[in-house]
Amino acid sequence: MMKGKDGETFDFGRGERRGTGGNQIYFVCGGVRASKEEHSVISTCEFKKKMSKSPEEVHPKKAFGWAARDTSGVLSPFKFSRRETGAEDVAFKVLYCGICHSDVHAYKNDWGISMYPLLPGHEIIGEVTEVGSKVTKFKVGDKVGVGCLVGSCHACDNCKNDLESYCPKLIFTYNGIYHDGTVTYGGYSNFMVANEHFVLSVPEGLPLDAAAPLLCAGITVFSPLKFYGLTEPCTRVGVVGLGGLGHLAVKFAKALGAKVTVISTTPAKEKEAIEHLGADAFIVSNNPQQMLAAMGTMDGIIDTVSAVHPILPLIGLLKFQGKLIMVGAPDKPLELPVLPLIFGRKIVTASCIGGIKETQEMLDFAAKHNITADIEVISMDYVNTALERLLRGDVRYRFVIDVANTLKEE
Ligand SMILES: [Zn+2]
Ligand SMILES: [Zn+2]
């Protein structure tokens, strides 16, 4: 056991990571951030190397997928193992897996926390092939999903309040350390095994390919809309950035009853935002007249931009007590102008994915309101090209890999 300056403990023997609040590595999505703690006794990568076993050492079931082997980030076929289906586990054949922007950061080790081989994918839709003896929620043949999380402590206040995504011991679907000490592998693979608590039921009627991105991008925007009270009728919501997260934010906010304004640097997106996505208004953020005209009109803004950008103009768009909610994650600090916050009692905040209960609620809501992601379905062998295109913003709005039909064992 090692002890950090502030009392956090690392137990190498059982492969646990313990920490509180600001001490942990956050690797969540929507815009994902690794906040490397100042107090850690060793670098996280070193720490993980020491405590991780490979699945091959402890798991009997042969699996395959595509993984990055190093920071070049090139994905290629990869054979590995998964655990047996335990009493509380659900095993499922992967049908589709969305490509999230955080996958790009992970496979290139942009945050310094990647463990190779790194097999990404946390927008996973599949069909159940086996259930453990204690599983109650699922049966063979069910359509299911797994998002960003496959484990948490089940004992902390956040877990007890269905906020597993804020558990200090949460376990990510890939590049995480599972309870048995192995590194987790994601959905760019032929099958998954997950504890049933972290498996979502895909409602009838949701197209399986276009539902995949809901499991990360969808819940990343749905959760803050609900938590920050942007669901009252006639609430005015702004959405900054029209990408994977932004286009879903528009759809969910509209379905929840808000009047939605898209705020974008690209005038050409207006037609798309209004005619296709159903936004009520569109503002070009570098057009001073348009920004001035909209000042003080918004109850909340979902900011999905992950590049460094000025937030003062966005704060200006907020009403008294309005909320600017960051779900993208710029890799450098933003400038925070305090005076306009003081004089409008405004809030600048952020939000992670939701817990499992809320993720199910989001899927059910999406099915009821016909909300799916706009996607481009690709084959597994196109994944490297897709990742490059994603870096250039060249996708409308999410790539989804047709895993079942295109992943071949090599
Ligand atoms: Zn994601
Ligand atoms: Zn917990």
pLDDT tens digits for range 219-231: 999 999 999 999 9
Find the mean pLDDT for residues 331-360: 96
Residue 3 reports pLDDT greater than 50: no
Q: How confident is the model at residue 329 (pLDDT cuts 50, 70, 90)?
A: confident
Find the mean pLDDT for residues 348-356: 97
Look at residue 233 in the predicted model and tell me its pLDDT: 81
Ligand number nearest to the C-alpha of 215: 1
Ligand 2: distance of its center to the CA of 170 in Å?
Answer: 7
Look at residue 287 in the predicted model and tell me its pLDDT: 95
Report the distance separating Cα 95 and Cα 251, nearest Å: 24
Percent of the chain exceeding pLDDT 70 equals: 87
Find the mean pLDDT for residues 42-48: 47
Look at residue 52 in the predicted model and tell me its pLDDT: 67
Find the mean pLDDT for residues 347-370: 98
Find the mean pLDDT for residues 120-136: 98
12-17 long-range CB contacts below 8 Å, 24 or more apart? Answer: 12/50, 12/51, 14/181, 15/51, 15/52, 15/53, 15/177, 15/180, 15/181, 16/169, 17/47, 17/169, 17/177
Mean pLDDT of the chain: 88
Residue 99 reports pLDDT greater than 80: yes
Ligand 1: distance of its center to the CA of 338 in Å?
Answer: 31
Ligand 2: distance of its center to the CA of 167 in Å?
Answer: 4
pLDDT tens-digit series, residues 365-401: 999 999 999 999 999 999 999 999 998 989 999 999 9
Look at residue 167 in the predicted model and tell me its pLDDT: 98
Look at residue 7 in the predicted model and tell me its pLDDT: 34
Nearest to 263 by CA among 227, 311, 230: 311
Ligand 2: distance of its center to the CA of 392 in Å?
Answer: 37
Look at residue 223 in the predicted model and tell me its pLDDT: 98
Ligand number nearest to the C-alpha of 219: 1
Q: Which residue did the predictor score with more confidence, 106 or 194?
A: 194
Q: Which residue did the predictor score with more confidence, 73 or 374?
A: 374
Residue 410 reports pLDDT greater than 50: yes
Name the DSSP class of 274: I
Ligand number nearest to the C-alpha of 152: 2
Residue 16 reports pLDDT greater than 80: no
Look at residue 315 in the predicted model and tell me its pLDDT: 98
Residue 348 reports pLDDT greater than 60: yes
Look at residue 49 in the predicted model and tell me its pLDDT: 54
Ligand 2: distance of its center to the CA of 313 in Å?
Answer: 37
Backbone angles phi, psi at 115, to 5 degrees: -115, 125
The residue type of 64 is F
Find the mean pLDDT for residues 238-242: 96
Ligand number nearest to the C-alpha of 121: 1
Ligand number nearest to the C-alpha of 221: 1
Ligand 1: distance of its center to the CA of 128 in Å?
Answer: 22
Q: Which residues pair with residue 240 across a beta bridge?
A: 263, 303
Ligand 2: distance of its center to the CA of 174 in Å?
Answer: 18
Look at residue 57 in the predicted model and tell me its pLDDT: 79
229-236 long-range CB contacts below 8 Å, 24 or more apart? Answer: 229/300, 230/256, 230/258, 230/299, 230/300, 230/302, 230/323, 231/256, 231/257, 231/258, 232/257, 233/257, 234/258, 234/259, 235/259, 235/299, 235/300, 236/261, 236/297, 236/298, 236/299, 236/300, 236/319
Ligand 1: distance of its center to the CA of 4 in Å?
Answer: 30
Look at residue 48 in the predicted model and tell me its pLDDT: 52
Q: Which residue did the predictor score with more confidence, 284 or 234?
A: 284
Total residue count of the chain as it appears in this document: 410
Find the mean pLDDT for residues 4-23: 33
Q: How confident is the model at residue 56 (pLDDT cuts 50, 70, 90)?
A: confident
Residue 258 reports pLDDT greater than 60: yes
Find the mean pLDDT for residues 327-352: 94
Name the DSSP class of 99: E
Q: What is the largest CA-CA distance in the chain?
A: 63
Ligand number nearest to the C-alpha of 197: 2
Q: How confident is the model at residue 135 (pLDDT cuts 50, 70, 90)?
A: very high
